[in-house]
Structure 1
Amino acid sequence: MGPSRSLPCLVLLFLIASSRASVLEDTCKSFAAGHPGIGYDYCIKFFQASKDSATADKRGLAVIASKLAGAAANSIVKRIHPLMASEKDKRIQMALRDCDQLYSLAVDELDGAAKGVAAGSPRGKADAAAYVDGALGAPRTCETGFGEMGVESPLVKEDSEFTKEVYIVLDIVHSL
């Protein structure tokens, strides 16, 4: 293919890539409008963990977001295990065990959400929304357990970050 024929192909590829990038930007702008406390920049930063997000359509972004949040939940589970092993207070160990179970379930729920969205059916979307709602309960319930004991949670930062991430997933799933 000569230079005169390759230029239109390059322009077309650029336009396709630009429109895909705007899906991510538009999605994060819409998210930020409904969640100003989390914001556009956080949303964009969240998706930067996946190179595929720059070219994904909205459904693809929902799958990616579900997988990213699931990976975050899995990281929290891995953080909890050494905390439980080193903790001497039985009540705090019990609260950590509860958090471990909640976040382990959240991993499964977010995997189910990704599969539901990927299915592309109305039932898949409804299932995904239910799974994401379930995952959103993990950080709240975890923090409540420590609050009821009157001690500060060692997972407060992780719970806060995970909540923001799950709100991104939830917003995108509901917008499909």
Structure 2
Amino acid sequence: MASSVPAASAVPLLLLFSLAAVAGGNIILPACKTVSGRVDPTFCEEALGSVGAGVDAKSYKELAVVAADLLVANATSTKAKIDGLLASSGGKNIGGAALQALRSCQALYGGIVDSGRGSATAIRGGRFREAAAGLEKAAAAVRRCEDGFGKSGVSSPLTKEGDNASRLAGLAVALLAFVY
């Protein structure tokens, strides 16, 4: 009987320490659990935890900015990859349909960079619906890029990058759903 009293008093202490850990630190895990119905929680944790700003975030709004910034970094890198593919081949080693798809994706990823930057700025300014619209536009541009390769019957060299871009845009939108 005496042993049950200390065990019972330990439960509130554990709850207190758990709440203190969330309130005083990293909110990535609870945020990723919250949006897990819309976004893969492992992807969420890995993406947001990959940069200091994610680890230091204190709100879903700040995490949404991080996701939008990661989208911009992804799209910038993907556009550079496309630029490299086009420059290295000079268009000579790439078939007409693939060349056309790459050029289309080059323009689309330039737009994704702009949409991502605009969305991050809108989030910071509290314009959440505007931000969500920009992020959804970015995800649609990724789909159009991939569709261009599919229609040409050529496999896309950008599938992995596109998947990540779509997931980052979706993550930011999912987080925003809990902000406004």
Fold agreement, TM-score > 0.5: yes
2:64 to 62, 65, 71: 62
Q: Deviations over 1:3-29 (max 9, x none)?
A: xxxxxxxxxxxx776415453212101
The CA deviation at 1:131 is 0.5
Counterpart in the other structure of 2:151: 148
More helix by share: 1
Aligned in 2, Cα 1:141/1:150: closer, same or farther, shift over 3 Å? same
In the alignment, what sits opposite 1:76? 78
Structure 2 equivalent of residue 24 of structure 1 = 28
Q: State whether structure 2 residue 104 is matched by structure 1 residue 98.
A: yes
Please report the TM-score for the alignment, with normalisation by the length of structure 2.
0.80
Letter aligned with residue 36 of structure 2: A
| 2: CA distance, partners of 1:114 / 1:99 | 22
Q: Which has the higher contact order (CA 8 A, sep 6+)?
A: 2
1:164 aligned onto 2:167: yes
Q: Any unmatched runs of 5+ in structure 1? A: 1-14
Amino acid at match of 1:41: T
Match of 1:129 among 119, 132, 141: 132
% of aligned pairs identical? 31
1:50 to 1:43, Cα distance in 2 relative to 1, 3 A: same
Given candidates 118, 137, 141, the residue that maps to 1:138 is: 141
CA distance in 1, matches of 2:137, 2:85: 24
Query: What secondary structure is seen at the aligned counterpart in 2 of 1:47?
Result: helix
Is 1:20–1:55's contact at 8 Å kept on the other side of the alignment? Answer: no
Any conservation in 1 of the 2:28–2:49 contact (CA below 8 Å)?
Answer: no
CA contact (8 A) 1:102 1:138 kept: yes
Shift of 1:114: 0.6
Change (3 A) 1:108 1:16: farther
Distance 1:131 1:20 in 2: 32
Distance 1:29 1:138 in 2: 27
Structure 2 partner of 1:44: 45
For the residue of structure 2 that corresponds to 1:135, the secondary structure is helix
Establish whether residue 34 from structure 1 lines up as the match of residue 64 from structure 2. no
What residue number does 1:173 align with? 176
Whether 1:115 aligns to 2:117 is no
Structure 1 residue 43, shift from structure 2 partner? 0.7
Distance 1:117 1:157 in 2: 26
3-state SS of paired residue (2:33):
helix
Structure 2 unaligned blocks of 5 or more: 1-18
List structure 1 segments (4+ residues) > 4 angstroms apart after TM superposition.
none
Number of positions where the alignment pairs a residue of Structure 1 with one of Structure 2? 157
Give CA deviations for 1:108-138 in whole Å, capped at 9, x if unaligned. 1011111111012xxx111101100110012
